[in-house]
Structure 1
Amino acid sequence: MSTDYQFFTPKEIVQELDKYIIGQTEAKRNVAIALRNRWRRMQVKEPLKQDIVPNNILMVGPTGVGKTEIARRLAKIAKVPFVKVEASKFTEVGYVGRDVESMVRDLVERAIALVKAEQMETIQDKATHQVEEIILNILVTDIQEKINTDKSLEKQQSSYNTRERFREKLKSGALDQREIEIKITKTTPPSNINSLGAGPAIDEGFIMNFQDMFSNFLPKQTKKRKVTIGEARTLLLTEEINKLIDMNAVKEEALARASHSGIIFIDEIDKIAHTTPSNSPGVSREGVQRDLLPIVEGSTVQTKHGPINTDHILFIGAGAFHMAKPSDLIPELQGRFPIRVTLENLSEKDFYKILDEPKSALPVQYQALLSVEGVKLDFSLEAKQEIATTAYLLNEEIENIGARRLQTVMSHLLTPILFDVPDTITPHTTITITKEMVQEALADLIKRKDLSAYIL
């Protein structure tokens, strides 16, 4: 099982997170410790190893302060399966909607994709070579048929030279537009079981398992297609890679990785907190919590790839908790999130840092977009400060949506420029955003009382 994050100490993990997320030091420290503890556990000998469970984390803070981004970046650092779900999308068992086990099945699917992608990298060269040979075989078929009737060495040598000439042209791309006929394996997909009039209470896992089992009995058909060599490369490469990948090994590794290093981020967990009387109409929020509890505590979930135990999956819950408090969750669920972290509101200084420091800061993104059109976009220091100030004031006066307010402000500021490129603003143009331009462009945003069009 992959343990790439063993090389990152908690301090190094925080340093990596700092490249993309401003502030929130306490949250970063806690997730860094949680990640390192997972590697530490893998080094512990049995049977104690099985008894060490992760300390799940509950992040409390307003929207747009970095809760989701911390969890997502953490998973990327560790190269582990990660899935984000919204607790408000789940419904109590027996009601129409997603059941809580679906997030574990989603995690397994992410793990399958992750492991398969890693294996694809290792076999890419071999598959590419095999595709090249298949295409060469098609190109020299006529010559090989002649060789079958004339065994002279001269003819064979001529065929060899022809094949090598084709190979050189193939590698150079000179034959990419030439059409050839190839054979492609085709499997007829099963019809959707829901279309048979089944009731809404049918379990999602049962549907997937049934469809997967049914598809295994379908005969694989081969059909001929006339395509260019360039298209043939793509189609045949996919087939050859699928032939070379041992899916049984992929599933086994994916289940292990999801079980021992997977991360499930449960957003909007405050939306299922019990803040209304138990006899209120509608789906019971407490019921969803009780369905969620065994998954977080540790249980076995059946997936179409096999059973997975959730004992060592790291769960990170998050919510603004404006209308509810963490104590409004049922006590059992509270106990399964022993690490509680409060994320702070962003300051005006934080807004400026978000514009200036992260590798994928908004100004960098817009510069990259316009560079495609040959237009260079620059921001003066004062312009960034003015954008940060405006975003902060709008959050204070209207509604606090955190760093997402910067997207609103930047979009409003740059919309005229984005519209005029390349018709009015032609390539090889340099545009420098100044403080005065920001003030002029955003003046109406500050003055207007009704900003509903700009609230995300």
Structure 2
Amino acid sequence: MPLILHAPPVLLRCTSSLPRRWLSTFNSSSSDFSFTSGYSSAIDTNTTIKGPLGDASLHGAHRLTPRALKEHLDKFVVGQRRAKRVLSTSVYYHYRRIQQVRQRQEEEEELTRVARAMDVHSLEDEFPGQQQTMHYQPDYGRDEFLPIHDHSPLTLEKSNVLCLGPTGVGKTLMIRTLARVLEVPFSMSDCTPFTQAGYVGEDADVCIHRLLAASNWDVRRAETGIICLDEFDKIAKPKSTHGSKDISGEGVQQALLKIIEGTTLQVSAKPERRPPSGLPGGSTVAGPGGPGGANKGEIFTVDTSNILFIFTGAFIGLDKVIMDRVSKGSIGFNAHVRTNGVALEDEKFRGYTPFFTPNEGEGGKKRKFNPLELAEPGDLINFGLIPEIVGRIPVLTAVEKLDEEMLVRVLTEPRNCLIKQYEQLFLMSGIELRFTSGALWEIAKAAMKMETGARGLRTVLERLLTDAMFEAPGSSIKYVLVTEAVAQKKQPPLYFGRGQKHQFHGAISEEEATWASYHGQMPEEKPVNRSYEDYKEKGKAAGFT
């Protein structure tokens, strides 16, 4: 008897309830239609995924990556490509490591809760008359030893970072920016006032106290934070003590050893120093015991094993120690000459580089690197650091000195660049401030002579704009122009009234044309955008307004 198949009535009712619009778009005669469409064992990752997970990563990785952190740093700091990559990588893996630590803590708490519940409700209580549970112990002979089983999970150790380089190039700014992005507790301490315990000054563990205060006295958050110790080179051992005891050098390094590697500290919630009640702000300084804070005298136990330490310092004179080591044995006409920047084509210096270096730097220029990039642990020991503390800082990176072109970029490109800040200051008084390209380069040249890095730019701008900031507010001045002659201190800033807008823009165009005719195309150099308008358009293209 033949078997007759009938469509289930449930399916027929479901089909009849479908919207008419869907039925009108369905074509059963289409050659691409099959009843198995939508079900496949293969996934095409080259096509765009639609739906609620369309924006998710194809590999299941976290959206926060070292490359994303480095690109974020590019919005605030100019140059320093190698240092950005090293810091972004170190901070990223610290972030991933603390995520694993928190997940493991939650799992252990859950297992502890379940174990306690099992102890409270035993099997004998659930089933009366049940025979008591007995644990079997294997019978080992006298000559046999009990096997040792270590079920502890894999521990990911932290990698502390040391950042070397001159002042005013963005070391502190990079670390603050990364900590702000990750939303982890962050504190910065200066190593200069650190002394041994019992002497006048600050103890080395004050950095833990500041981190705990930055985390609102939450011990669990503080134990996964980041501590930046600035001016780390100031606690190096002096070459000679002249019979006096060194209380801020090697003694402080010894005190930092266990804190850096990982130990348990007892931190007391000390009240913050308040100014006298008669001074302004005397009643607004918050101390322990406030909302969400700690009570006075409360003791906190902090484990520093998962706290990332980042050390920064100028290390003045370390480059000479490095070049003496690298150039050791070179004598005669072919000897290597010690310079501030070492050309990469020299194969001798290439061999001393602790990492791969491309032949070309940013912009296709010949790569020149800072001698501090050749730093080795032995150089730090010769500088005055003890071997124990050098061994606890496995990651070394260096920042480079800013040249004139980089200083011009500092003036115009970052999100918080100085040109935008001063333009906003004048705009609050209804005044438009403009700088010509020649003025920008003269400002950068003057800042280079100060040898204070990017900090010298603000000094130069304050000197140039002091008179304009005094005279312009409340007057008929509506436009202020700073030209190359103004930056060279040959004349005061140019002022224009409300009805002189065309003269104002005409003066800008004339200055830019003169600058382009003399400096637009440098010999043996690729054309670069050096006009103020080009820098401004470049900033807009990057998303800065």
Q: TM-score range by the shorter chain?
A: 0.5 to 0.7
**Does 2:146 match 1:92?**
no
SS at match of 2:223: helix
Residues 1:110 and 1:33: Cα distance change in structure 2 (over 3 Å): same
**Does 2:470 match 1:416?**
no
**Does 2:204 match 1:104?**
no
> Which residue matches 1:280?
244
Range 316-325 or range 103-112, more displaced: 316-325
Q: Which amino acid aligns with 1:365?
A: Q
Return the alpha-carbon distance in structure 1 between the equivalents of residues 262 and 469 of structure 2.
Answer: 50
Match of 2:426 among 364, 370, 377: 370
Match of 1:70 among 164, 174, 189: 174
Deviation at 1:276, TM superposition (A): 2.7
> Which residue matches 2:398?
342
Query: Could you list the per-position Cα deviations for residues 26-57 of structure 1 after superposition, in whole angstroms to 9, with x for gaps in the alignment?
Result: 11111111121023322477587772122111
User: Which protein shows a greater Rg?
Assistant: 2
SS at match of 1:440: coil
Relative to the length of structure 2, the TM-score reads: 0.50
Query: Could you list the per-position Cα deviations for residues 348-379 of structure 1 after superposition, in whole angstroms to 9, with x for gaps in the alignment?
Result: 11101101100100111111122221212122
Q: Which amino acid aligns with 1:302?
A: Q
Residue 409 of structure 1 contacts residue 442 of structure 1 at CA under 8 Å; is this kept in 2? Answer: no
Q: Which amino acid aligns with 1:420?
A: E
Residue 352 of structure 1 contacts residue 385 of structure 1 at CA under 8 Å; is this kept in 2? Answer: yes
Match of 1:264 among 218, 221, 227: 227
SS at match of 1:71: helix
Residues 1:442 and 1:9: Cα distance change in structure 2 (over 3 Å): farther
Deviation at 1:381, TM superposition (A): 2.6
**Does 2:487 match 1:431?**
no
Deviation at 1:442, TM superposition (A): 9.2
Residues 1:307 and 1:421: Cα distance change in structure 2 (over 3 Å): farther
Q: Which amino acid aligns with 2:239?
A: T
Return the alpha-carbon distance in structure 2 between the equivalents of residues 108 and 50 of structure 1.
Answer: 27
> Which residue matches 2:30?
none
Query: Could you list the per-position Cα deviations for residues 204-246 of structure 1 after superposition, in whole angstroms to 9, with x for gaps in the alignment?
Result: xxxxxxxxxxxxxxxxxxxxxxxxxxxxxxxxxxxxxxxxxxx
Return the alpha-carbon distance in structure 1 between the equivalents of residues 490 and 255 of structure 2.
Answer: 50
Residue 382 of structure 1 contacts residue 435 of structure 1 at CA under 8 Å; is this kept in 2? Answer: yes
Return the alpha-carbon distance in structure 2 between the equivalents of residues 68 and 6 of structure 1.
Answer: 26
Query: Could you list the per-position Cα deviations for residues 163-206 of structure 1 after superposition, in whole angstroms to 9, with x for gaps in the alignment?
Result: xxxxxxxxxxxxxxxxxxxxxxxxxxxxxxxxxxxxxxxxxxxx
Return the alpha-carbon distance in structure 2 between the equivalents of residues 12 and 312 of structure 1.
Answer: 23
Residue 186 of structure 2 contacts residue 226 of structure 2 at CA under 8 Å; is this kept in 1? Answer: yes
Q: Which amino acid aligns with 1:316?
A: I
Residue 194 of structure 2 contacts residue 248 of structure 2 at CA under 8 Å; is this kept in 1? Answer: no
Deviation at 1:425, TM superposition (A): 5.5
Q: Which amino acid aligns with 1:318?
A: T
Query: Which protein has greater RCO, CA pairs closer than 8 Å, 6+ apart?
Result: 1
Return the alpha-carbon distance in structure 2 between the equivalents of residues 442 and 345 of structure 1.
Answer: 31
Aligned residues: 291
Q: Gapped runs of 5+ residues in structure 1?
A: 113-250, 444-456
> Which residue matches 1:291?
255
Return the alpha-carbon distance in structure 1 between the equivalents of residues 70 and 310 of structure 2.
Answer: 17
> Which residue matches 1:330?
386
Query: Could you list the per-position Cα deviations for residues 44-97 of structure 1 after superposition, in whole angstroms to 9, with x for gaps in the alignment?
Result: 775877721221110111111111111111111112211111111111111011
SS at match of 1:294: helix
Residue 6 of structure 1 contacts residue 39 of structure 1 at CA under 8 Å; is this kept in 2? Answer: no
Query: Could you list the per-position Cα deviations for residues 95-140 of structure 1 after superposition, in whole angstroms to 9, with x for gaps in the alignment?
Result: 011111111111111111xxxxxxxxxxxxxxxxxxxxxxxxxxxx
Residues 1:423 and 1:436: Cα distance change in structure 2 (over 3 Å): same
Return the alpha-carbon distance in structure 2 between the equivalents of residues 79 and 25 of structure 1.
Answer: 23
Residue 95 of structure 2 contacts residue 182 of structure 2 at CA under 8 Å; is this kept in 1? Answer: no
Residues 1:441 and 1:300: Cα distance change in structure 2 (over 3 Å): farther
Return the alpha-carbon distance in structure 2 between the equivalents of residues 322 and 362 of structure 1.
Answer: 27
Query: Could you list the per-position Cα deviations for residues 256-291 of structure 1 after superposition, in whole angstroms to 9, with x for gaps in the alignment?
Result: 22211x111111111111123364345241001111
Residue 413 of structure 1 contacts residue 442 of structure 1 at CA under 8 Å; is this kept in 2? Answer: no
Q: Which amino acid aligns with 1:414?
A: L
Q: Which amino acid aligns with 1:439?
A: Q
